[in-house]
Homo-oligomer: A and B are copies of this chain.
Amino acid sequence: MRILWVNPVGTPDHDAGIAALLRQTKSAETLAEVVSLVPGVVPEHLEYDSFEAMAVPEVVRLSRQASAEGWDAMIIGCFYDTAVTAAREVSGRMIVLGPCLAGLQTAAHLAARCSIIATRPKAAGHIARVVRGHGADHMVASIRTLDILTSDLVRDPGLTARRIEEEARAAVENDGAEAILLGCTLEHGAQDEIQDRIGVPVIDAVRAPFRMAEHLCGLAALGWSPGRIGAGLAPDDDELGMTGCFGAAAIGNRIEVR
């Protein structure tokens, strides 16, 4: 199985961290690759809606390209599930998914209600819209915030872990959360310890979608690839080519994960 993890940001800074986490997460036969995008084309983080916007066409181009290269799945590594619908449209038989839906689906088997730990109110508001779009309002007890900027999350991992634990505990004690969903792919690292200390599942935004991707890839053998009518109807190659807009995606960095 070949799965492409996209850090849809214009910095290679987080690639090694994600790659290390995927190495511990993936099954032996999966070949993964972590890519990030080019600085100046896409910002270093996507917390702002305007920053996320810059990543949208790159992600779509990458999806088409990855599909052509024979990848089985591509994960768009932002909890906003950035451009998943558009990327899926031109992904042929490749699976495209994002952390928010994958996390919510995982949580649905483990708990009646979960809380999401977002970075800042900015992100929390955006996530609320994504959750509502997925029809999952009834299973989200609360969206809490760390009040740490996305790009600062990895600067002081101890602080990040401490704050996640504080908010997770508050979610369990006050909001009725029975599981925790980490609301940013950069909140990884201390998930295990926090989970042990709090005693409820803490689902992180990297492993959950990656494992879901492995699972979904396996379904291709049953013929379950994305439908290609209605929302899934793709422009034909001629039409798409004539736009001149679907050149190579601007990949800035690549790490193979074996």
Contacts and interface: CB of A to CB of B under 8 A. Distances in A.
A230 B121 contact: yes
4 nearest A-B residue pairs (beta carbon): A112-B231, A215-B215, A40-B244, A43-B243
A125 B87 CA distance: 16
A235 B235 CA distance: 35
Contacts of A101: 108-109
Given A53-B83, A234-B50, A136 B135 contact: yes
A55 to B, nearest CB: 8
Given A56-B56, A215-B212, A230 B50 contact: no
Contacts of A59: 53
Of the listed residues A111, A113, A222, the one surrounded by the most CB atoms of chain B closer than 10 A to its CB is A222
Interface string A117-156: 0000110111001001111111100000000000000000
Interface residues of A, number: 93
B86 A235 contact: no
Interface of A: 10, 25, 27, 39-44, 48-54, 56-57, 59-60, 64, 83, 85-87, 89-90, 95, 97, 101, 105-106, 108-113, 121-122, 124-126, 129, 132-139, 172, 176-179, 192, 195-196, 199-203, 207-208, 211-212, 214-216, 218-219, 222-235, 240, 243-246
A8 B234 CA distance: 20
Given A50-B60, A53-B83, A132-B138, A201 B223 contact: yes
A87 B52 CA distance: 11
A95 B40 CA distance: 27
Contacts of A133: 129, 132-133
B89 A54 contact: no
